[in-house]
Structure 1
Amino acid sequence: MEIDKLEEFISKVPDFPKPGILFYDMSTLICDSKAFDAAIGHLEEKIKGYNINKIAAIDARGFIFGAALAIKMNLGLIMIRKKNKTPGNPISFEYELEYGKDCLEVNPKLCDANNFALIDDVLATGGTANAAINLLRKAGGKVSCFATLVELKFLSGCEKIDIPFKTLIEY
């Protein structure tokens, strides 16, 4: 399935989760095995030249695409979690949002000396992606590329990313 056909499987939901927000719902895409498999295949093509040995995925929808991609590429998966969701002694990275602060965590024992492709479902403002990149670096990892299914280009999130960025669909 060609990349442009994948867009048909993404629903646009106005005023969700709050008024004025247009939500891009990928539930229909992941529910269709052919579309989901095609999306994962296209993501693999985008990142395969970066000599990565692990996939890192951002909580929560990034886990869906990251896990499928890790299996397809026969790589391990590191989960970048929201605050207080990582057991043991995680390290954290706090970052600014429009409406306050947020925090991401990761188990540093899983990161050291690995070369990651960072995966998420959507790139919007770039704040979470930038925080995840910095968190992986803080934990001793290298992040060679960042890939998403969708980029909301009008929000200019890729300007905050200092590594190669790949996406399948731009809005």
Structure 2
Amino acid sequence: MATAGPRISLVAALDRRHAIGRDNALAWHLPDDLKHFKAVTLGKPVLMGRRTAESLGRALPGRANLVMTRKGSAPFDGMRPVATIEQALAATAELEAGELCIIGGGEIYREWLPLADILQLTEVDTAIEGADAWFPEWDRTQWHEVQRTTHPADDRHAFAFDFVEYQRKGA
């Protein structure tokens, strides 16, 4: 169910089986997806789990970086730890942000999916071997596809992919 506070957007790139990563990293390099991610999240608070934060190696510039962690500290300067969904929503309200972008990993996506209003997905046309992180299964009947942009494989992108925005019905 969507929240009454800020709009909650889950932002993820996933393969045909919903794999999102392998060995704490993306399983592909798609430059246009990285540009899309930046365009979707820039100027908005982003929330991630500790392992995702560690994999980034630094706070993402131009965004408030919230890290869901039970450890009480975030791995890098410029990242703010939050322990609960309530703390994350309070931090977002403090920032007077109208939208919170959830950027992974799998456990964080599972926790936030019931609260999401928007899914900003990059659907990558491949199946990654050895994947160990997954986007949760979701009931497509509860969502309306708002926009889809197709990108073929080319000399910079080993796989074809679609940028797809879904909005929760009734949100």
Q: TM-score range by the shorter chain?
A: 0.3 to 0.5
TM-score normalised by the chain length of structure 2:
0.38
TM-score normalised by the chain length of structure 1:
0.38
Greater relative contact order, per chain length (Cα 8 Å cut-off, separation 6+): 2
